[in-house]
Structure 1
C-alpha cells in the first residue's frame, strides 16, 4: 500500500472549501447545524436553510454564514431560496425527520404523508431547483444525509424506513442519470445518533427519547456525522464516496446494540 509520500507525489490533494458555496438544509439544529459549523470552519461560503429563522440567524452570525428561510415542503419557498443564490457548489440535503413509531396496522397516514413530504418530496424539490447550478459549477457535490433506516427495515419504523429507502434510491438513480456530469452524488447513512430533537419529535417526549439511548455508552453525536460529511466533500473531486454507513461502536446492526 502506498504511504503518504507516494500519495503526495501522485498529486493527491484535498479539495479546499475556500471559494466554494455550500448549501445546508435543516440547518437550525442537529446534524444540519453541526455540518454548517464544520463546513464554515473548512472555508466554505455556507448558506443555511430552514424554517426557524431565529435559530438560523443566530447560528449564521456565530459561524459567518448566510441564513435564508426555507421550507422544503413549500414549492414557492424552494423557488425563492434558489433565486436568492448566485452560486452553488455543494448541496447537503439534510432536512428531514421521523414523526411516529407505529406499526403498519396502526398507521397514521397523516404522519406518513408528512414524513414523505419532508424527507422525499422536499429533497426532490430542492435538488431539482439547484441541480443546474451544481452542474454549472464544474465541480458540484450533491450529498444526501440518509440513514441506516434506508438500508434495513425494522418494526415500528415503516413510515421513516420507507422514506429513507426512497432517499437511498434517489441518490442511486441520480448517480446513474448524472454519469458524465461534473457532479458527485454522496450518501451518508448514520445509525444511532443522539441529537436534541430527532427522537423527541418521533416519540413525543424527552423521556421516551432518552430511553432510546439508555445504557449506550457513546452513541454518535451530530459532530461525528458532520466530520464524515466534511471529509467526503473535501476529497479530490474525482473521488466519489457513494455510500458511507456510520454507526457507533456499540451498534453492531440495526437491532444489535450493546447497553450497559
Structure 2
C-alpha cells in the first residue's frame, strides 16, 4: 500500500511537471511566433518610414526645381531619385521574401505596386510640367504643379504611406503586447503549477509520514510487550501494505511462542504432579 501511495504522489508530481513543461513550451512557441511578427512589422515600419522620408526629399527637390529656377532643367538622375528607388527596391525585395513564408502578406505587394506605379507616374508628371515651363507656359505649369502636389501627392500617395505605417505600427504593438501577456501568463502558470505540485507532494508526504509513524509505533509497542513477557500482546494493523504483512508475521510468531510456552508450562505441571504423587507413595511406604 505504501508503494501505491508513493507511486500516486510521484505520478501526480510528474503530471504537474509535464503539464508545466507543456504549457511553457506552448508559451515559448507563441512568444517566438509573436516576436517574429513584431520583428517583421518593426522592420517593415522602418522601411516604409525610410520610403516616406526619401519620397518627401524627392518631391521637395522636384517641386523646388520647377518653381525656384524656371530656367534650370531637371536632373533625371538626381541623388534623391536614386535614394528613393533604392528604398522602394529594398521594401519590395523584403516583402517578396516574407510573402514566400507568409502568404497573408501578399496584399502588401499590391500596396507596394501602387506606390511604385505612382512614383513612376510622377516622373512623367514632372516631365510634362517641365515641358510646359520650357514652352514659356509658366502659369499653367505652376497650376498643374500645385494641383499635382495638393491632390495627387497629398490625397493619393501620402495616405498609402500613412496607412502602411499605421498598420505595421499596430501590428508591432499588438505582437509586443501578446509577448508581454504570454510572459505574464507563463509566469503565473509556473507559480500556480509549482505551488499546487508542492502542496500535493507535501500533503502526500504528511499522510505517508503519519501512516509510517503509526505502523512503526504499533510494531515497537508489540515487541516491547513481548519482551516484557506479555505473549498475548498482538500488533493491531489492518490493510494490505508491507507493515500489515509484517504485523501478521509478528502476531503469528507471538502466537506460536505463546502456544509453545503454554505447552511447556502444561508439561511442567504434569511433571510436578507426578513427582508429588511419587513422593506421596514413598511416604506411605
* Fold agreement, TM-score > 0.5: no
TM-score, normalised by the number of residues in structure 2: 0.22
TM-score, normalised by the number of residues in structure 1: 0.24
Greater share of strand residues, 1 or 2? Answer: 1
Greater share of helix residues, 1 or 2? Answer: 2
- Which structure exhibits the higher relative contact order, with contacts defined as CA atoms closer than 8 Å and separated by 6 or more residues? 2
